[in-house]
Amino acid sequence: MNYLIGDLQGCCDALERLLAEIGFSPSRDRLYVLGDLVNRGPASLAVLERLAGLGDAATCLLGNHDLHLLAVAHGVRRAHRNDTLDEILASPRREAWLDWVRTRKLAVHEHGWLMVHAGVAPQWDLALTLDLATELEAAFAGPDLRDFLQVMYGNEPARWSPGLRGHDRLRFAVNALTRIRFVDAGGTLDFKLKEGADTAPEGLVPWFDAPGRRTAGVPIAFGHWSTLGLVERPDLLAIDTGCVWGGALTAVRIDGGRREVSQVACDQAQAPG
C-alpha cells in the first residue's frame, strides 16, 4: 500500500502514532513524505533517523524548512529563534545527515500522482516540472551546494519564462516547488499572503486554481499550506494539516484510484507566527 504523508516538521511522536494507525509495514508499504521533514517540532533529528531507517520504503521530498536547515548548516542563513535544528547540527553524524537531506527529491510522479512540497507554477506542464526538479536535485547534491545556497533566496523572478537561465531559473523553480501559495491571473507568484484560500484579495488565486494551469488534470499532492487544511478533490490533495501547530498529521492511502485518509491529533509544539 502507498501512503502520502504531510508536513512533519520534527514531530516524530506524531509520525510514530500515524504509522501505527495505518498499520505501516516497511516490507509491504511505501511512504511518500511531502517535505518539511524538520524544524519547529521537538524531534527533528529523530524524524531523520526514523525516515532514513526506512530505506527504500520511504521517499522524502524537500520543503522550505529542509532547505533552511542546509542554509543554516552552511553559514548562508542565521538560525531563527524558533528553529529546532540544534540536535542535527550538533550531531556527531551531522555531515551524514546533511548529505542525506540534500539528496532527497523535489518532485516525484508515481502511482498516478505528481508529488511536490508546495505546488507548481501555472505555466509548467508535468514534464517541465519534473525536469526542473531534476535540475534542482543536481544542484543540491552537487559539489557547489554552498555557492548555490548563497544565490537561492529571493523573490525574483516572480514569473516563469522559458528564457530563464542560471540562478534565476533555479531560484524560481525552488520558490514554486517549496514556497508557492497564491498567484495572479498571469501566473506571477505572491509571497506575502500565507492565510487560507478564502483570504485572497481580488486578483490573487491559489496556484491550483490559476486559469489555464498546464497541469490541470494531473493529480497533484502537496503540503506546505497549513492554513489551507485538508483539501480533497479528484485531482488534488492538500495534506499539511498543521501538525506542529497543534492540528493533525495526515496520511492518505493511494492505490489504484482508491483514497483513504487517516489522521492523528498532534500536541502543539509552537504557536503559528
Dihedral sign for Cα atoms in the order 142, 76, 150, 176: positive
Nearest to 238 by CA among 39, 83, 35: 35
Q: Which helix (H) or strand (E) holds 205?
A: strand 204-206
DSSP H helices in the chain: 12-22, 44-53, 64-73, 86-89, 94-102, 126-141, 145-152, 166-179
Whether residue 47 lies inside any domain: the answer is yes
Whether residue 273 lies inside any domain: the answer is no
Nearest to 215 by CA among 130, 140, 124, 141: 124
Dihedral sign for Cα atoms in the order 159, 124, 237, 241: negative
Whether residue 188 lies inside any domain: the answer is yes
The pTM assigned to this predicted structure is 0.97
If one counts the domains in the chain, the total is: 1
Grid coordinates standing for 229?
487544511
Q: What pLDDT is attached to residue 273?
A: 63
Whether residue 55 lies inside any domain: the answer is yes
Whether residue 42 lies inside any domain: the answer is yes
Q: Amino acid identity, residue 218?
A: V
Query: In whole angstroms, what is the distance from residue 255 CA to residue 22 CA?
Result: 14
Whether residue 79 lies inside any domain: the answer is yes
Whether residue 154 lies inside any domain: the answer is yes
CATH number of 186's domain:
3.60.21.10
Per-residue pLDDT of the chain (273 residues), as tens digits, is: 999 999 999 999 999 999 999 999 999 999 999 999 999 999 999 999 999 999 999 999 999 999 999 999 999 999 999 999 999 999 999 999 999 999 999 999 999 999 999 999 999 999 999 999 999 999 999 999 999 999 999 999 999 999 999 999 999 999 999 999 999 999 999 998 888 778 888 899 999 999 999 999 999 999 999 999 999 999 999 999 999 999 999 999 998 767 899 999 999 988 776
Query: In whole angstroms, what is the distance from residue 131 CA to residue 240 CA?
Result: 25
Q: What pLDDT is attached to residue 197?
A: 78
Query: In whole angstroms, what is the distance from residue 223 CA to residue 206 CA?
Result: 13
Decide if 174 contacts 152 (C-beta within 8 A).
yes
Per the structure, the complete domain to which residue 214 belongs is given by: 2-265
Whether residue 272 lies inside any domain: the answer is no
The region that residue 228 occupies, defined by phi over 0 for left and psi between -120 and 50 for alpha, beta otherwise, is alpha
